[in-house]
A and B are shown apart, each in its own frame.
Chain A
Amino acid sequence: SAVISQKPSRDICQRGTSLTIQCQVDSQVTMMFWYRQQPGQSLTLIATANQGSEATYESGFVIDKFPISRPNLTFSTLTVSNMSPEDSSIYLCSVRQTGGEIAEAFFGQGTRLTVV
Chain B
Amino acid sequence: SQQGEEDPQALSIQEGENATMNCSYKTSINNLQWYRQNSGRGLVHLILIRSNEREKHSGRLRVTLDTSKKSSSLLITASRAADTASYFCATAPTGGFKTIFGAGTRLFVKA
Contact = CB atoms under 8 A, between A and B. Distances in A.
A73 interface: no
A44 B88 CA distance: 12
Given A31-B97, A102-B30, A105-B33, A42 B42 contact: no
**Chain B interface mostly helix, strand, loop or mixed?**
strand
How big is the B interface, by class? 20 to 34
A107 interface: yes
Interface string B85-105: 000101010000111111110
Nearest to A104: B45
B16 to A, nearest CB: 28
A43 B2 CA distance: 9
A105 B45 contact: yes
A45 interface: yes
- Centre residue among A37, A42, A107, A109 by max chain B CB count within 10 A: A42
**Chain A interface mostly helix, strand, loop or mixed?**
strand
B22 to A, nearest CB: 15
Contacts of A41: 103-104
B81 interface: no
A45 B104 CA distance: 15
Contacts of B43: 43, 92, 107
Contacts of A112: 40
A7 interface: no
Interface in B17-38: 30-31, 33
Interface of A: 31, 33, 35, 37, 41-45, 48, 58, 90, 92, 94, 96, 98, 102-110, 112
